[in-house]
Amino acid sequence: MRHILILIVLTVLNTTLVGASEILPVNERTEQVRNAIVTATTEANTAEQVTNEHLTKITTLNLRNKEITELKSGDFSGLTGLTSLNLYGNKLSILPDNIFKGLTSLNSLRLGGNTVDPFSLTISIQKVVEDQFKIGIPTGAPFKIVVQVNVVNGTFGDNATTAAIPKGSIESNSVSVTPTAGTTDAITANLDTLPTIPRNHFGYALTKSDVMSIEIAAAIQIDSEPTENSAPEFTEGDNATRSRATYWDGRNNIGERVATGLYICAFKAGNYSAIRKMLIRK
């Protein structure tokens, strides 16, 4: 019984590790890619013999004029040491998501001469949570992509103005935005200048997605004269009575109860104003 239990644990463990690696077995890759990998690996004669360690040692993959009509998402997975990828002169019309994911050493990429020339690699911007956004590229970044981002009614941390997608990644880290002091307007972010492709990269261009601007934090409207006052009792201070306390009933400007989330609140009293964050949980 003990031996059976051990075998089961090992089987489950192996499945988990394979899934986590996201490396497509070489014998399941596009035929031309599979053959090129075997050719580039001096220590293996068949696709089944190619190990993950073998993949990391490959630096060049020449797939020029191989009549390739389509690629699989994981065709180049595991090739972390690949510096040169030549796909010139094939019959490709689309590039699958994640095709360049994990290619952290890539310095040369040739995509020209295909059915589509040049390819368009789309950069998008999206909200992560309240006050945070990130940029992404579905194919994976063939080089480190640094994008200018404009933020309205807010600023980046550390006064930065760009967001970066590391080479081989599909998205940037989350970028936090601080509201401009004294504003209750919505905070928006939009893509500005995209970088040009580097030297030794051919056959593609970076483009912006159709959605170039997003709302990171919604505008807040605070009634100056609340219609209801049921704030808690205050025992000391300037707002010691209900009649002098300010109360918000948790509804927006059209009377709907707001959802759970992080909100930006503006406080104004005479010449005093302040911006604070408030977490609402239901």
Which of the two residues, 243 and 140, has the higher pLDDT score?
140
> Is the predicted pLDDT of residue 230 greater than 50, yes or no?
no
Judged against a pLDDT cut of 90, whether residue 63 lies above it is answered with: yes
Q: Please, what is the average pLDDT of the chain? A: 80
| 74: Cβ contacts below 8 Å, ≥ 6 apart | 22, 23, 24, 28, 29, 98
**Mean per-residue pLDDT for 173-184?**
82
Could you give the domains of the chain? 2-110 (3.80.10.10), 119-217 (2.60.40), 220-282 (no CATH)
pLDDT for the residue numbered 279: 72
Least confident among 71-85, 175-189, 249-263 = 249-263
* SS3 category, 40: helix
Cis status of the peptide bond prior to 118, with omega within 30 of 0: yes
Whether residue 109 is predicted with pLDDT greater than 50 in this model: the reply is yes
Determine the Cα–Cα distance for residues 112 and 178; give it in Å rounded to an integer.
42
CA distance 86 to 62: 5
Distance CA(184)–CA(177), nearest Å, equals 14
Q: What is the Cα Rg of the chain in Å?
A: 27
- Whether the CB-CB separation of 83 and 59 falls below 8 Å is answered with yes
pLDDT tens by residue, 68-78? 999 999 999 99
